[in-house]
Each structure stands twice: as C-alpha cells, then as structure tokens.
C-alpha cells in the first residue's frame, strides 16, 4: 500500500542498504486473495524473501527492518552495542505515542497536544545525544523508522487547518532532522509530497482511497 | 511484580543465562514513587543495568530479553540466523492473540475459543519444526517468552471452572512442551504453583491483590 507509513519503513531500509527489490502495491480496502499467503494477518508490509528456501514471508515493519539490517551489513543502521540497540528499540516503543495520536487526529480531529507531548521525547533525545540524527552523523534505524510520520505532518495540517501549530522553537532539533532527511537519498527514493499525502487522505476520508495515486 | 507474566520473561532469561541479579518486587496498585525513574511508562519489568555508566534502565519484556541474550552469549536463546530470528519474533507477535484472549477470559469470562485458536498456531509450528521445544532440543527464546502464560492455564481453569477444556488431543505438542518446561531449571527457578496463581488472581479480582504472596 503506497501510502502506508509502516510499509514505507521497509522501503527506506531497502533503499538505505541499496538492496534490489520488487514492490507489489495493494489495495488495502479490497485486499487481493493471495495476501493471506504472504501476510497471515492481512497487514502490510510483508517481505517475501524469494532467495530463501520456500520463499518465506516476513511481517511487522520493525521485524522486517531489523532483519534487513542484520542480513545486509552495508550501511549498518542499528548500533553495534547491545545496550544502545535496546535503547533505540525502547525509543521506538515510545513512538507509539505519536502513531496513536496521529490516527486520532486524522479520524477524530483531536489529540494534537498528545502528539506534540510525544514528540517532546524525541526532541529531548536528540539534544541528549548531541547529534543531528538519532543515528549520529548519518540517518540510523530510529531516523528511518520515525520518518514516515514526519513526512506526514502536512496531513495533520490539512486536517486541522489553522489549528495546526508545529512550533520550531519547541522542536528545533526535530525541525532540523526533517530538513536533513528530506535530502537523504533513501528518503528521496520513496517520497511523497505534502500535496500527494493530502490528496491521498482526502480520497481515503471520502471512502474512495486513491491507492494508485503514485503506484 | 511477582505475578506479572511479562516480568517473568526477564527472570526466565536471567535464570537461563545464570546471570546474577537483584529483584525488587513492587505493588502494582500502589506504585512506588521511584518507579518512574527506572520505568517512564510505570510498567514492569524494568531492568536497571547497574554495571553500565549512568545505570540506565531498560523496559519492554521482549527488548529486555533480547538485550540479555545478546549481552550474555552463554546458552544462546535466539537463533543465529537472521531469517530464523525474524521468524521467531513474528511468532511472538502472533502470541498477542493468546495474551489478549487470556486477559479477556480473566476479566470478562469469555474468549476461550479465541485462546485455543491462537494456541493452534503454536501447536502447528511445533509440528512443523519437528522438535520438542521451539528452540530445538532445548528451550529457546520463544519457549521462555510464552511459558508465563502456559504456567497460568490453571488460572483460566479457576475462572471458567467446568467450562475449561484444554484438549491434549488437540494440543499434544504443547502439552508435551508444558511437561518438559516444568522440569527446566530456569523455569523451576521462578515458578508458582497452580494454587499460588489461583490465590493471587482471587485476591486481585477481590481488589486486594496479594502482591507479597511469594515475594
């Protein structure tokens, strides 16, 4: 599904690793019958590993991303140190505060304060790490895993209009991160503009999601 | 919290690795004020790594378990192969069907069919792997991560009484796994009897959870 933020995570890691892959975009409203064969819970993303015996499929965006990071050692994304790896994963658990608030805003037009409060944790963590990216001087695992929601801030603006109030003084590090990631090759390789995201949300909200908009 | 199945996961891995550790059991109804310092979301388990600079704390049972498995290479629990590691983690994602059904049974006296349907996946996986344990010829990561709920089957029996219908013919591999794990040293090192689990649930349900029952 071209506009699924979880599916985007898999694309970002594949791009960051410069791994060749083939994409099948699906219509998430009218799911193809074969989906159950690669994704038993009928969710996206699913990664079919065609080079392995039996062509097994993996699901769950974070599990897929970590698998790719282990399988393809070039441009390592997660830290080598076990403690730092665990801390990055805990940070991503806390990102659920943002993904939950995001859906609440889109579906119920409420929850913006919770969204910013959850984002505070990431602003503070960037300050604590003293680096431009969560990964240090280049994008790492956390950066790519959270990017899909940062790319979709314009959807919140579209939904809330004048009530949208991203504050660069409250989030200077996150604002800088967004600017930097927009120039990253892996991000640019799977990017949708604010207008495209807004148009997708408009059609989805109207009940005729434009799944083929960029596919 | 002595009776938390998620906290038990951390104990099982520490025991399986024969790592020395100190336990602080807490009252989950009246949480200690210091809890926020080691567990920002006020959940258990939290693992404070006292040997590391700043004595950082880790949360989330699966993240703690994987950290311990990476940090202490003795008796490795997760498979070495990246694909198999990912498949074990996906299996544990699917275990959410069991943990969700478990709470629904305890709180609403309903959901037993869903519980068995979710358990079917694990029975089939053991058949597919052709081994006694998910870890092969010894308990591995999946075995220890699911054990706390297998140990608590008697709580379901206590709640549902005659409606409890564990079927050894439907789950021969799981039944064998339960028998084998009960004899495992790591499991025996942090085990509560059916009667103790039932007594804890009785007091919790009555609103005066007996947190010190075994602490």
* Burial label, A198 (beta-carbon count in 10 A; 0-12, 13-18, 19+): middle
Q: Which of B75, B110, B125 is the last residue of a domain?
A: B75
Q: Do A60 and B90 touch (CB under 8 A)?
A: yes
Residue B215 has pLDDT above 90, yes or no: no
A83:B71 CB<8 A? yes
Q: Is the pLDDT of residue B181 over 90?
A: yes
Over pLDDT 90: what percentage of chain A?
Answer: 100
Instruction: Quick: pLDDT tens for B104-162.
Output: 999 999 999 999 999 999 999 999 999 999 999 999 999 999 999 999 999 999 999 99
- Whether B175 is in a domain gets the answer yes
Tokens of residue B179, six digits = 């028998």
CATH number at residue A46: 3.40.30.10
Q: Is B82 on the interface with A (CB under 8 A)?
A: yes
Asked if residue B87 and residue B70 are part of one domain, the reply reads: no
Of B104, B77, B100, which is closest to residue B89 (Cα–Cα)?
B77
What is residue A185's predicted lDDT score, i.e. its pLDDT? 98
B105 occurs within a structural domain: yes
- Give the end of a domain, one of B23, B56, B75: B75
The reply to whether B19 touches chain A by the CB within 8 Å rule is: no
pLDDT of residue A32: 96
The residue among A13, A43, A60, A90 with the most chain B CBs within 10 A of its CB, best to mutate, is A90
Say whether residue A89 is in contact with chain B using an 8 A CB cutoff. yes
Reduced to 3 states, what is the DSSP secondary structure of residue B59?
strand
B115-121: Cβ within 8 A, 24+ apart: B115/B156, B116/B167, B116/B170, B116/B171, B118/B94, B119/B171, B119/B174, B120/B170, B121/B91, B121/B94, B121/B97
Q: Say if CB B123 and CB B75 are below 8 A apart.
A: no
State whether B191 and B116 are in the same domain: yes
Residue A50: its pLDDT value, please? 95
Residue B69 above 90 pLDDT?
yes
Q: What is the CATH number of the domain that holds A168?
A: 1.20.1050.10
DSSP letter at A58 equals E
Q: For residue range B36-52, what is the model confidence (pLDDT) as tens digits?
A: 999 999 999 999 999 99
Chain B residues within 8 A of A52 when measuring between CB atoms: 83
CB-based contact (8 Å) between B93 and chain A?
yes
Residues B118 and B184 occupy one common structural domain: yes
| B5 token code pair | 């199945």
- C-alpha distance from residue A129 to each of A87, B35, B59 (Å): 12, 24, 19
Out of B58, B86, B90, name the one closest to residue A90 (CB).
Answer: B58
Query: What pLDDT score does B9 carry?
Result: 98
* Any domain includes B10: yes
Does any domain span residue A210? no
Using a CB-CB cut-off of 8 Å, the residues of chain A touching B64 are 86
The torsion of the CA quartet A102, A104, A107, A108, rounded to 10 degrees, works out to -130
**Looking at chain B, which runs of residues are DSSP E strands?**
46-48, 57-59
pLDDT in tens, A75-126: 999 999 999 999 999 999 999 999 999 999 999 999 999 999 999 999 999 9
**Which residue segment(s) compose the domain that B143 sits in?**
82-204
Q: Does B91 touch chain A (CB under 8 A)?
A: no
Shared domain check, A193 and A89? yes
Q: Are residues A101 and A191 in the same domain?
A: yes
Q: How many domains does chain A have?
A: 2
A33 touches chain B (CB under 8 A): no
- Say what the pLDDT of residue B201 is: 97
Residue A135 and residue A143 in contact, taking contact as beta carbons nearer than 8 Å: yes
Q: Which two tokens stand for residue B64?
A: 């703690």
Catalytic sites of A, residue numbers: 4
Answer whether B83 sits within 8 Å of A59, measured CB to CB: no
| pLDDT score of B2 | 96
Are both A199 and A96 inside the same structural domain? yes
Assess whether pLDDT exceeds 90 at residue A215.
no
Residues A110 and A193 in one domain: yes
Residue A193 and residue A142 share a domain: yes
Domain for residue A76, yes or no? no
| Residue written as token pair 């392995």 | A52
At a CB cut-off of 8 Å and minimum separation 6, what does B96 contact?
Answer: none
Q: pLDDT value at position B96?
A: 96
* pLDDT above 90: residue A150: yes
pLDDT class of A5 with cuts at 50, 70, 90: very high
User: Are residues B142 and B55 part of one domain?
Assistant: no
Q: CB distance A58–B86 less than 8 Å? A: yes
Q: How far apart are the first and last CA of chain A?
A: 9
Decide if A197 is inside a domain: yes
Under the banding of pLDDT at 50, 70 and 90, the label for residue B80 is very high
The domain boundary, picked from B75, B110, B133, lies at: B75
Secondary structure of A78-142 in HEC code, one letter for each residue:
CCCCHHHHHHHHHHHHHCHHHHHHHHHHHHHCCCHHHHHHHHHHHHHHHHHHCCCECCECCCCHH
My answer on whether B13 and B98 are in the same domain is no
* Nearest Cβ partner for A63 among B40, B41, B90: B90
The active-site residue out of B4, B14, B101, B186 is B4
What is residue B154's predicted lDDT score, i.e. its pLDDT? Answer: 98
Residue A201 lies in a domain: yes
| Span A159-174, average pLDDT | 97
Q: How far apart are CA B206 and CA B202, in angstroms?
A: 6
B63 and B88 both lie in a single domain: no
Which pLDDT belongs to residue B67? 98
Chain A residues close to B93, C-beta within 8 Å: 59-60, 63
User: Are B65 and B22 within one domain?
Assistant: yes
- B80 three-state secondary structure: coil
pLDDT greater than 90 at residue A198? yes
Residues 107 through 166 of chain B touching chain A, CB cutoff 8 Å: none
Computed over every residue of chain B, the mean pLDDT equals 97
Q: What are residue A58's phi and psi, to 5 degrees? A: -115, 150
Residue A169 belongs to some domain of the structure: yes
């Amino acid at each position: 599904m071209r506009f699924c933020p979880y599916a985007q995570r898999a694309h970002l890691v594949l791009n960051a690793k410069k791994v060749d892959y083939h994409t099948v975009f699906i219509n998430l409203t009218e799911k193809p019958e074969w989906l159950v064969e690669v994704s038993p819970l009928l969710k996206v993303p699913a990664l079919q590993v065609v080079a392995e015996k039996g062509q097994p499929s993996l699901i769950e965006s974070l599990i897929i991303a970590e698998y790719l990071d282990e399988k393809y050692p070039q441009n390592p994304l997660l830290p080598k140190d076990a403690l730092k790896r665990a801390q990055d994963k805990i940070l991503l658990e806390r990102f659920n505060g943002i993904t939950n608030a995001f859906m609440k805003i889109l579906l119920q037009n409420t929850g913006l304060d919770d969204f910013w409060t959850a984002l505070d944790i990431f602003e503070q963590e960037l300050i604590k790490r003293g680096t431009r990216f969560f990964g240090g001087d280049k994008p790492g695992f956390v950066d790519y895993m959270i990017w899909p929601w940062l790319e979709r801030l314009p959807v919140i603006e579209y939904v809330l209009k004048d009530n949208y109030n991203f504050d660069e003084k409250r989030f200077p590090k996150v604002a800088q991160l967004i600017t930097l990631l927009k120039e990253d090759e892996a991000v640019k390789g799977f990017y949708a503009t604010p207008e495209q995201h807004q148009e997708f949300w408009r059609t989805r909200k109207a009940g005729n999601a434009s799944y083929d908009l960029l596919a």
